Amino acid sequence: MTLSKHYLLLSELSDMNCKVPFHPFHMQGVNQELSEVLNQLWRLDTNRLKPGTDYRISLQGRAGYVAQGSHHARDRARAPLFSYVNEDKLKSIETYAHFINLLDNYEMSTGVSETVTSEELRENHLFLDAILETDVMKHAHKYLVSKGQSPSDQTQFKRQLYDIWFRLYHRDRSGGQDSCGFEHVFVGETKSGQEIMGLHNWVQFYLQEKHDHVDYKGYKARDNKDTPDEDDHVLNLQFSWKGLVKPVGGSFIGVSPEFEMALFTILFLISTEKMTSEVVKVDEYVMELVVYRHGRSIGTSFPKLLSSNNRDL
């Protein structure tokens, strides 16, 4: 593992306020079985939006180094990341529509207890019901049952998904139940008003950017040989959110919420380690997938693009 790769991982996992062991062996070789399963999910993801048609991104400049906790970053991107998103299409797809309804259900800061209203509880269940009807989640469920990691009964599987993603827990020890996996990964949180944690979802990024809460600072790449393309579905980004800077955050672009939920649920359940890191090749992308567990729930999860189109491998 190069220092820059290790920095990307450390920067992300500082989200969890923990010490991350340096494990060079994480980077050795692609997990073939996991890659095969995830490629099946990729092929089944009919709700994935098409770059250049359903949305357009503008990568602009390559972002520089920024220390964690910094409030300033040199802006290498004058324009937003998303120059166009077909919102009508987005809202016409059931899983996206229910997903978007969840994005305003959380307190931004850790340490502030979450209150789940009956309406928010209903929205959580409607979202899970919608994704469970997709071929992506059906295939993920079938795979997890075959591995003995999930119950075959769909109601019990839904309960398992709820525990992994929506069950509240203490992230900041000074507060009450202030966080959950879904909030951290898909919505984003702040810690002590000093740093951004999570926020790895492209729909949330786009909507926050549209409302001038997010300012895209540029893409992150290890060197000039690995510059991303504007049709890439995985990116490493630098951005500010409500005045705080995220030095680097990995994100899928254009994929459906059910694809991300399925992928990270599988990664979470195939290991009992505190941190699970696997290198996979999905479509043309070689990426490192990372999941950090918080008891029976997800603490954080994100992709980190290593190479696209087999460049520089």
Q: Give the active site residues.
A: 184, 200, 246
Strands of the chain (E only): list them. 55-57, 82-85, 189-191, 195-197, 214-219, 234-241, 244-252, 275-282, 285-294, 297-308
Can you read off the two tokens belonging to residue 255? 């994929």
In sequence order, the 6+-apart residues with CB closer than 8 A to the CB of 232 are 51, 253, 285, 305, 308
For residue 242, what is the DSSP state?
T
Largest Cα span, the chain: 51
Q: Can you tell me the distance from the alpha carbon of 27 to that of 139, in angstroms, rounded to the nearest whole number? A: 27
Long-range contacts: 33-36, Cβ < 8 Å, 24+? 34/266, 34/267, 34/270, 34/278, 34/280, 35/280, 35/281, 35/282
Are 228 and 285 contacting, i.e. CB atoms less than 8 angstroms apart? no
Number of other CB atoms surrounding residue 307 within 10 Å: 16
In sequence order, the 6+-apart residues with CB closer than 8 A to the CB of 206 are 55, 81, 82, 85
Strands of 40-173 (E only): list them. 55-57, 82-85
Name which of 304, 312, 311 is nearest 219 in CA terms.
304
Q: Can you tell me the distance from the alpha carbon of 259 to that of 262, in angstroms, rounded to the nearest whole number? A: 5
